[in-house]
Structure 1
């Protein structure tokens, strides 16, 4: 699934989910070290658990962040 982000440096998030488990995540753009770290931490995690942990995280004064955008992408994937 390809998710176009909004309000963050990352332009898009590519993710693969199988049986409600996150198989892979790739952030395009953004802070490479942070986004790679987030991607590796959620791989193998249940989608709902990842959403619970990431949703609502802010980046500085922004109302969203790359982890929050990932939670939005995961929510969309569940639909």
Structure 2
């Protein structure tokens, strides 16, 4: 299992941590942001396929920012998958 840390841009959360093993997401956590909602995302994506989750979360907007914590998570996933 490989651990990744991503620093999101333009959102309330300041850090996203997650593990990836065999294309599956594990131990997703956000630092900052809407605590309850972001904990829920971590629980909902546990053990799920990273490509599928990225596709679902990509483009989600928060407060007309053009991005969101979920969208930033999709960018983190895409970045990791592209580098592997």
Per the shorter chain, which TM-score range?
over 0.9
Q: Which residue of 2 aligns with 1:40?
A: 43
Equivalences for 1:35-74 in 2 at 5 Å?
Answer: 35-74=38-77
Give the deviation of 1:13 after TM superposition.
0.2
Q: Quote the residue 1:28 is aligned against.
A: 31
Unaligned runs of 5+ in 2: none
Q: Which runs of 4+ in 1 moved over 4 A?
A: none
**What TM-score results when the alignment is normalised by the length of structure 1?**
0.97
Secondary structure of 1:11 counterpart: strand
Question: Aligned residues, how many?
Answer: 79
Normalized per residue, the structure richer in strand is 2
Distance 1:43 1:24 in 2: 7
